[in-house]
A and B are shown apart, each in its own frame.
Chain A
Amino acid sequence: MPYTAKIKVTLRQSILDVQGKAVEHALKNLGYGTVESARIGKYIEVTINEADSLQAERIANEISQKLLSNPVMENYSFELEHVK
């Protein structure tokens, strides 16, 4: 049974997130005074046809490092979900 890796890629805190800033300003302009910040990242779902969860996890880590994120400016995290 395959697994779905739900992968989140976010800009590192030290990198200025100009999209997040624009959204943050828009929310404040809408009157949401308690909004402190907004940051924008990417959400990627990858279905991996592996029976073993450790193997699926290894692949999710590998593709996140190799292609889906750029370690110079981004972090990633993921959850694995068993597809029924």
Chain B
Amino acid sequence: MADVIVGVVVFPGSNCDHDTEYAAGSFDGVKPVMLWHNEHDLKGAKAIILPGGFSYGDYLRAGSIARFSPIMQEVIEFARKGFPVLGICNGFQVLLESGLLEGALSRNRDKKFLCCQTNIRPVNCKTIFTGQYKEDDVLSIPIAHGEGNYFAPSEVIESLEEHNQIVFKYTDALGEVTEEANPNGSLKNIAGIINRQGNVLGLMPHPERASEKLLGSLDGRPLFQSLYHHIAGV
């Protein structure tokens, strides 16, 4: 059987692209391909990942300029057709700017750029990205961002809750959703959300940085595995 192709988009300023390529490609039967921002060709990809970093230097607003890059026009089309798109950190910011996900990410509550390990819980394990998790799993996955404070108007939050679109929440080590466990001020401790159709996920934590024993955590790996199972029909 031919390898399934996963596209990893590379913007000028992306800096987690190769980590993401490594993590997504660590399953037999997956072949990651890099997609340069100026291209229009998705190269046969069955899923697209927008990696972390500082696309276009985060100028204007994080993700705002990347959203209009040539490759994003194809990615938006691809997502609207129902194919899986995953945005990690800056990739999440790009998805929000694109309108593929609802809400926005503003400066962290305590003004700091945060680079640390966090605990998150997959509060919806029925998605194509989280099928390999259990809802009481408490994951240790790092964050690294200055603008990860999730905000949306109250009617959007209500709708996200009603349709089970909140997928990851920041928690304490026991899996409790507490104010102290909220690193950046995100409403409802939101660390990741999915669109209504269930094919576009964005999250601030970096699963690709928790996909190798040497890095101290393997908790990000099931996310890539879930996606792989979905696209390969395993």
- A residues near B (Cβ < 8 Å) are 11, 15-19, 21-22, 42, 67-68, 70, 72-73
Contact status A70-B107, CB under 8 Å: no
- B residues near A (Cβ < 8 Å) are 60-61, 64-65, 68, 96-97, 103-104, 106-111, 149, 151-153, 185
Contact status A72-B152, CB under 8 Å: yes
Contact status B108-A18, CB under 8 Å: yes
Cα of A15 to Cα of B152 in the assembled complex, Å: 10
Contact status A22-B60, CB under 8 Å: no
Contact among A16, A19, A72 for B185, CB-based, below 8 A: A16
Contact status A16-B106, CB under 8 Å: yes
Q: Which residues of B are found within 8 Å of A67, using beta-carbon distances?
A: 60, 64-65, 68
Min distance, Cβ A49 to any Cβ of chain B, angstroms? 21
Contact status B60-A18, CB under 8 Å: no
Contact among B65, B97, B153, B185 for A70, CB-based, below 8 A: B97
Task: Specify the chain A residue showing the minimal Cβ separation from B107.
Answer: A18
Contact status B108-A72, CB under 8 Å: no
Q: Which residues of B are found within 8 Å of A21, using beta-carbon distances?
A: 111
Min distance, Cβ B186 to any Cβ of chain A, angstroms? 12
Cα of A19 to Cα of B103 in the assembled complex, Å: 21
Task: Specify the chain B residue showing the minimal Cβ separation from A68.
Answer: B60
Task: Specify the chain A residue showing the minimal Cβ separation from B152.
Answer: A72
Q: Which residues of A are found within 8 Å of B64, using beta-carbon distances?
A: 67, 70
Contact status B151-A19, CB under 8 Å: no
Contact status B60-A15, CB under 8 Å: no
Cα of A17 to Cα of B108 in the assembled complex, Å: 10
From known contacts A67-B60, A70-B61, infer whether A11 and B111 are also in contact, taking CB-CB under 8 Å.
no
From known contacts A15-B151, A16-B185, infer whether A70 and B111 are also in contact, taking CB-CB under 8 Å.
no
Contact status A18-B151, CB under 8 Å: no
Q: Which residues of B are found within 8 Å of A11, using beta-carbon distances?
A: 106
Q: Which residues of A are found within 8 Å of B107, using beta-carbon distances?
A: 16-19
Contact among A18, A19, A68, A70 for B104, CB-based, below 8 A: A70
Cα of A57 to Cα of B151 in the assembled complex, Å: 30
Cα of A73 to Cα of B150 in the assembled complex, Å: 11
Min distance, Cβ A28 to any Cβ of chain B, angstroms? 16
Contact status A18-B97, CB under 8 Å: no
Q: Which residues of B are found within 8 Å of A19, using beta-carbon distances?
A: 107, 111
Cα of A19 to Cα of B111 in the assembled complex, Å: 7
Cα of A70 to Cα of B62 in the assembled complex, Å: 11
Min distance, Cβ A69 to any Cβ of chain B, angstroms? 9
Min distance, Cβ B182 to any Cβ of chain A, angstroms? 13
Task: Specify the chain B residue showing the minimal Cβ separation from A44.
Answer: B60
Q: Which residues of B are found within 8 Å of A73, using beta-carbon distances?
A: 104, 106, 151
